[in-house]
Amino acid sequence: MSFQLIYATPTKEHLQAIDQKYHKLIRKTIESQLQFEPDKETRNRKPLKRPVEFGARWEIRFGPENRFRVFYNVNADLNEVIVLAIGMKKGSRLFIGNEEIVI
């Protein structure tokens, strides 16, 4: 069963803060990882222990050195995945858009 991907409006701004050469990787990973079984825990896809400030309950990590993070929610009743934020780790710090986020 396929899930529909819905991107929250701020995700466009989040991508602007990430080098454009990674945009295709981010899009392909979101599509391949979240369209089928987005709520199945894997090595790089995990439920968050507590919701973050923008309300996400799940996180996926990927890319070179697992630097990219996508935060999302799953609505299984409607077969929807709502992508709420796209960020990048720099060392031990997480940036979503141009803002540092503490998780």
Task: Specify the pLDDT at position 27.
Answer: 97
pLDDT tens figures, 11-70: 999 999 999 999 999 999 999 999 999 999 999 999 999 878 789 999 999 999 999 999
pLDDT tens figures, 12-27: 999 999 999 999 999 9
- Residues 19 and 55: their CA atoms lie apart, in Å, by 25
Q: How would you classify the pairing of strands 80-90 and 4-7?
A: parallel
Residue pair 85/17 in contact (Cβ under 8 Å)? The answer is no
Task: Specify the pLDDT at position 5.
Answer: 98
Distances (CA, A) of 44 to 41, 69, 78, 83: 8, 10, 24, 16
**pTM for this entry:** 0.94
pLDDT of 103 over the 80 cut: no
Mean pLDDT of 95-100: 94
CATH 3.40.50.920 fits 4-98, yes or no: no
